[in-house]
Amino acid sequence: MLNEAQQVLKQYFGYENFRNGQAEIISNILSGRDTAGIMPTGGGKSICYQIPALLLDGVTLVISPLISLMKDQVDSLTFQGIPATFINSTLSNAETEARMEEVAMGEYKLLYIAPERLESSRFVDYLNTLNIPLVAVDEAHCLSEWGHDFRPSYLGIYGAVKRLSSNPVMLALTATATPQVQTDILSHLHIPSENKVLTGFQRNNLYFNVLKGEDRKRWVGDYIQRNKQQSGIIYCATRKEVERVHDHLVKKGLSAGKYHGGLSDSLRLEQQEAFLNDSIMVMVATNAFGMGINKSNVRYVIHYQIPKNMEAYYQEAGRAGRDGVESECILLFSPQDIQTQRYIIEQNVMNQDLHQNELQKLRDMVDFVHTESCLQQYILSYFGDETDEECGHCSNCLDDRETEDVTVKAQMVLSCMKRMNERFGTTLISAVLTGSKGKKIKDFGFDRLSTYGLLKDESQKEVGLFIDYLIAEGIIDVEGGGYPTLRVSKKGKEVLVGERKVSRKKQEDAAPVLSNEDELFHTLRTLRKSIAEEEGVPPFVIFSDKTLHDMCLKQPGDEAEFLNVSGVGESKLERYGELFMNKISTFLKENEEYSRKVEEREPGSVSPRKQRGKTDEPSHHITFQLYNENKSMKEIASIRNMSVATIENHIIRSYEEGLADDWTIFFNEDEEDLLKEAVEKVGETPLKPIKEELPEDISYFQIKGYLAKRRVVHD
With helix as H, strand as E and coil as C, how does 624-676 read? HHHHHCCCCHHHHHHHHCCCHHHHHHHHHHHHHCCCCCCHHHCCCHHHHHHHH
Residue-level pLDDT at 453 = 94
User: pLDDT per residue over 180-189, tens digit each?
Assistant: 899 999 999 9
Secondary structure letter of residue 447 according to DSSP: G
> What does the pLDDT average to over 282-293?
82
Q: How far is CA 105 from CA 59, 84, 95, 188, 308, in A?
A: 10, 13, 15, 32, 46
If we measure between CA atoms, which residue out of 240, 43, 271, 66 comes closest to residue 149? 66
Question: Taking a C-beta distance cutoff of 8 angstroms, is the pair 272, 230 a contact?
Answer: no
Domains of the chain, with CATH numbers? 2-198 (3.40.50.300), 206-382 (3.40.50.300), 403-505 (1.10.10.10), 517-611 (1.10.150.80)
Least confident among 279-293, 461-475, 514-528: 514-528
- Taking the C-alpha atoms of residue 548 and residue 324, their distance in angstroms, rounded to an integer, is 12
Above 70 in pLDDT, residue 364?
yes
Secondary structure letter of residue 443 according to DSSP: H
Higher pLDDT, 519 or 116: 116
Above 80 in pLDDT, residue 712?
no
Above 80 in pLDDT, residue 656?
no
DSSP H or E stretch at residue 554: helix 545-554
Using CA of residue 32, residue 33, residue 37, residue 43, what is the dihedral sign?
negative
Neighbours of 200 (CB within 10 A): 15
- Taking the C-alpha atoms of residue 211 and residue 332, their distance in angstroms, rounded to an integer, is 5
Say what the pTM is: 0.59
DSSP H or E stretch at residue 521: helix 519-535
User: pLDDT per residue over 545-579, tens digit each?
Assistant: 888 888 888 888 888 888 888 888 888 888 899 99
Residue-level pLDDT at 514 = 43
Phi (first) and psi of residue 271, to 5 degrees: -65, -40
Q: What angle do CA 592, 598, 602 make, to 5 degrees?
A: 165
Residue-level pLDDT at 269 = 84
User: pLDDT per residue over 567-621, tens digit each?
Assistant: 888 888 888 999 999 999 888 888 766 654 544 444 333 333 333 333 445 666 7
84-88, 323-327, 378-382, 523-527: range with highest mean pLDDT: 84-88
Q: How far is CA 649 from CA 230, 513, 656, 702, in A?
A: 20, 22, 10, 11
